[in-house]
Amino acid sequence: MTKTVSVQDTISSDDGSLLVRLIGWNVIAFIVALLLNNILSVGFDFPGFLSIFSSFSLENFSQLAIYLISFFVASYFGVFRRITTLRQDADIIHSLNLFLIRGFFWSVLLIGIVDVAIAFLRVEKILIMFASEGVISLLNKPMFVGAYIHVPIFVFSFILAGFTRTLGFVWLALLIVLAELLIVITRFVFSYEQPFMADLVRYWYAALFLFASAFTLYDEGHVRVDIVYAGLVDRTKGILNAIGCVFLGLSTSLTIVVIAFNGKYSIINKPVMSFEVSQTGTVGMFIKYQLALFLGIFGITMAIQFVSYLLESVADYRGEPGKRRVTQETASH
């Protein structure tokens, strides 16, 4: 006699799903709290929540409260609001990550175009034809360009991401090829080459690989040894993927995030706060500080995607209906 298991039965049964939900949502809560505290520490000189153990202050207590509130909200979603399946939770988290990736994609696309145009006008002395000396002086300062040109474009990019659905990685790859082709033509045909041209290629190239990594994980596009894995049943694949997510994926990506945003002089905070530029100075693009930020974005998006992948893997192990099958069509989405 065959027993039919409904979706509601699958949701209500507790064979580890509660623990997985708590881990998943609290990882996201930790990332949000870490980034908020990073803004307070770097931008407003807050001492950090760990300083509460040496001396109490309103500042370090508020930073500790951010973590506690974040974990409480995450636990509420994971425990008291279990009205969705693990697959539905995974889809929600994946959709959130897609929005972040779209926003970052539009930002590097638009900032790259605008900044390379400014660099060209600056290097070729074209600005003096229609701009005052004061404006030219400001456009030669990385902090002005970063704060008053890059940041507004960054905000607009996330607004644009809310109205678009494509990730645009194919188009970004095409633009990289065209930019590299333009460098070759101008170098060997017109004997013309400037540092900002190579800066644009490096800028877009880094964004393409680091931002696309999370979606590649979703589409099962990363390198995997399939000799044994391909022949396993879905239940076994699920438990192996879940173990890999926790001990390899999440541990690595969260380590990157913690190190990257650890204090004012971390590998990301220091160059971002100073809008650091390359040694080429005013003849190049003012985007070196963003290249440092790309590492943090990579860690954040990968951690969020690993949470989604963890929930989906446990759903496979538990035999929840609606398993996603990756095909050529879905991979090219």
Report the alpha-carbon distance of residue 109 to residue 290 in Å, rounded.
Answer: 13
Q: Can you tell me the distance from the alpha carbon of 182 to that of 271, in angstroms, rounded to the nearest whole number?
A: 30
Q: Give the tens place of pLDDT for each residue, 44-83.
A: 999 988 888 888 899 999 999 999 999 999 988 777 766 6
Q: How far is CA 163 from CA 91, 103, 160, 278, 332, in A?
A: 19, 10, 5, 34, 20
- Name which of 63, 81, 64 is nearest 25 in CA terms: 81
Q: Is residue 267 within 8 Å of 259, Cβ to Cβ? A: yes
Q: Which residues contact 239 (CB under 8 A, 6 or more apart)?
A: 313, 317
Could you tell me the pTM of the whole model? 0.89
Please give the C-alpha separations between residue 8 and each of 5, 67, 320, 323, in angstroms, as whole numbers: 8, 32, 10, 16
Phi and psi angles of residue 41, each rounded to the nearest 5 degrees, phi first: -70, -45
pLDDT in tens, 279-331: 555 667 888 899 999 999 999 999 999 999 999 999 999 988 888 877 544 44
312: exposed, middle or buried (Cβ count in 10 Å: 0-12, 13-18, 19+): buried
How far is 126 from 56, CA to CA, in rounded Å? 56
Single-letter code of the amino acid located at 256: I
pLDDT digits (tens, 9 = 90+) for 166-206: 777 788 889 999 999 999 999 888 888 888 888 999 999 99
What is the reported pLDDT for 50? 85
Coil, helix or strand for 280? coil
